[in-house]
Structure 1
Amino acid sequence: MDSNLLKVFVAVAKQKSISLAAQTLGFTQSNVTLRIKQLEKTLGYDLFHRVPKGVILTEAGVTLLPMAEEIVQKVENAIIQMKNSTHQRLLRIGTSQANATIRLLPFIEKLQQDFPDIHFELYANGTPLVLEQLLNYKLDIAFITGDPEHKDIMVLNQFDDDLYMIEPKNRAYPNTLIGYREKSTHFDFLKAYEEAEGNTHYKTMILENYEVMLGCVKAGMGKAYLSKKIIDKFGYEKSLKLTKLPQNACDVTCLVCRKDNVPFIAEYLKALS
């Protein structure tokens, strides 16, 4: 069975639309339709029902999807591994948003200087989603908040972070917790800390911009939990109340990889400071 046909099938299943899948894949809509028909002919089953807003999987399509996703992923991983078989040609880097702000650019600049032949791809999101991408072989290395303590993950390096709960200075403010993302290790810790202190009726505010978060705290809109480096970077260290919370997993950033997908430059990464 042609894995390229399965790749098209997976794209259509995820997008629930032939036209959207065609855009994602860079194919024409007629090309995608043809490939789906080829796959259906090979299998002897219809894989999609047409509906007014696109397509939905048939029972046979539902059965095929997880197997197709696994095959497509393994083929993509094999291609990347073969490209990297003698030396690192591609390094896919994941990072939590806080680490992207604090240390990613200097890290990339140093890598580019020391390894000019490596092509880099970046992915930034909350730590839970970055870990998910790493475990699914979508990333080679990742900066994450805390030690994952996962059986399939190797810690290559570790960096200390200095985090504080930040509040407005000398003014009352509503019971609102401000986070960068809903799925964020820092935000999860702040919510857990507040609940342990008996604060269970707070509201939340998500602002995907650290400077805006800091400005909102200063304006008296709530409290947040951020790295001192981010606070200093935007010049808010003297205009906010900073409180050091009990030591926790958020105080450490780990550079990690999968144990079965260790990059060629692992020793170099372990020596970074």
Structure 2
Amino acid sequence: MDSSLLKIFVAVAKHQSISLAAQELCFTQSNVTLRIKQLEKKLGYPLFHRVPKGVILTYEGEKLYPYALEIVTKVEETILKMKNISEQTLLRVGTSQANAIIRLLPFIEKLSVDYPATQLELFANGTPQVIDALLDYKIDIAFITGNPHHKDIVVLNTYNDDLYMVESKHKQSKECIIGYREKSTHLNFFKQYWEALGHKEYTTIILENYEVMLGCVKAGMGRAFLSKIIVDKYHYTNDLILTKLPLNEYDLETHLVCKKDAIPLIGDYLKTMHLP
């Protein structure tokens, strides 16, 4: 059976949408529809029901899905390993947004000097999404906040982000917490810390732009929990009060991780790489 047909089937099943699957695969919708029909013809039964908001798996489709996912994953893993069989010709790097700001460029610069033949592919998102991409073999390594303590993931390196609560030096800060992303490890920690101090009544603003976040903090619109590297990068250090918080049992360090069964050929190099 053609594994490319199974890859399209898995994408449609995952998104429950032909259009979203087409976007992920960089195909036209008509091409995806045609390939699904080809697979259905080969197997002899329909795989999807059409519903108002997209498609859902038929009973037969549900039976096929776990096998198709396993085949597609193994094929992609094999292709990647064969490409990198003698040298690291491709390295797919995932990173959380904060790490994209703090250490992605230094990482790229170091790698381009030490491994100039290695091609890089980048994927930036929240830590949960980056971990999912790693587990699905869509990326090879990832910079994430905290150790995931997952049985299939190994930590290659650890970096300290030098985190602080920041508030305006010139204005009274409002009872508001300013965060980068709603489902953020840093934001969740800061909320719990702030509530433990007795601050139960506060609002939250999500901005997804560090420079705007810092500008709002400077204006007294609220407080945030950020790496000093980010504060320094946008030149807000002299306008803010920086307070080091007790992290207690929280692991908010950055960990460079990979899958245990897919350690890159340059794994030893990554274990000793020094970054900000």
Q: Give 1:20 deviation, angstroms.
A: 4.7
Q: Are the structure 2 counterparts of residues 15 and 264 from structure 1 closer, same or farther at C-alpha, using a change threshold of 3 Å?
A: same
1:83 is matched with which residue?
Answer: 83
Who is 2:55 aligned against? 55
Q: What is the CA–CA distance in structure 2 between the aligned matches of 1:16 and 1:44, rounded to whole Å?
A: 21
- The answer for the alignment partner of 1:104 in structure 2 is 104
Percent identity over paired residues: 66
Counterpart position of 1:267: 268
Post-superposition CA distance 1:182-209 (Å, at most 9, x none) = 1222112111212222333322111111
Q: Following the alignment from structure 1 to structure 2, what is the Cα–Cα distance between the partners of residues 120 and 73?
A: 20
Structure 1 residues 98, 29: closer, same or farther in 2, change over 3 A? closer
Give the letter aligned to residue 267 of structure 1: D
- Cα gap change, 1:257/1:16 in structure 2, threshold over 3 Å: closer, same or farther? closer
Structure 1 residue 119 corresponds to structure 2 residue 119: yes
Structure 1 unaligned residues grouped into runs of 5+: none
Asked whether 1:190 is paired with 2:190, we answer: yes
**How many pairs were matched up?**
273
Can you give the 5+ residue segments of structure 2 that lack an aligned partner in the other structure? none
Give TM-score, length-normalised by structure 2.
0.90
**Structure 1 residues 209 and 29: alpha-carbon distance in aligned structure 2, compared to 1, 3 A threshold:** closer
Deviates more, 1:51-60 or 1:184-193: 51-60
Give the match for residue 204 of structure 1.
204
CA distance in 1, matches of 2:137, 2:20: 25
In 2 relative to 1, CA 31–139 (structure 1 residues): closer, same or farther, beyond 3 Å? closer
Q: CA deviation at 1:152?
A: 2.5
With 146-155 and 18-27 compared, the bigger mean Cα shift is at: 18-27
Q: Which residue is 1:216 aligned to? A: 216
Distance of aligned partners of 1:136 and 1:27 in 2 relative to their CA distance in 1, 3 Å threshold: closer
Distance verdict in 2 for CA 1:27–1:270, change over 3 Å: closer
Distance 1:205 1:67, change over 3 A: farther
Contact persistence 1:163–1:228 (CA under 8 A): yes
C-alpha distance after superposition, 1:15-50 (max 9, x if no partner):
444455445434444433332222112222211223
Q: Is the 8 A contact 1:186 1:250 kept in 2?
A: no
Matched residue type, 2:125:
N
Contact 2:179 2:204 (8 Å CA) reproduced: yes
Q: State the superposition RMSD in angstroms.
A: 2.1
Summarize the Cα distance change of 1:31–1:88 in structure 2 as closer, same or farther, 3 Å threshold: same
CA distance in 1, matches of 2:49, 2:76: 28
Contact 2:185–2:252 under 8 Å retained in 1? no
SS of equivalent residue, structure 1 residue 238:
helix
Counterpart position of 1:46: 46
Please report how far the alpha carbon of residue 232 of structure 1 lies from its aligned counterpart in structure 2 after TM superposition: 0.8
State the alpha-carbon separation in 1 of the partners of residues 155 and 55 from structure 2: 42
Change (3 A) 1:67 1:186: same
Change (3 A) 1:104 1:45: same
Aligned match of 2:69: 69
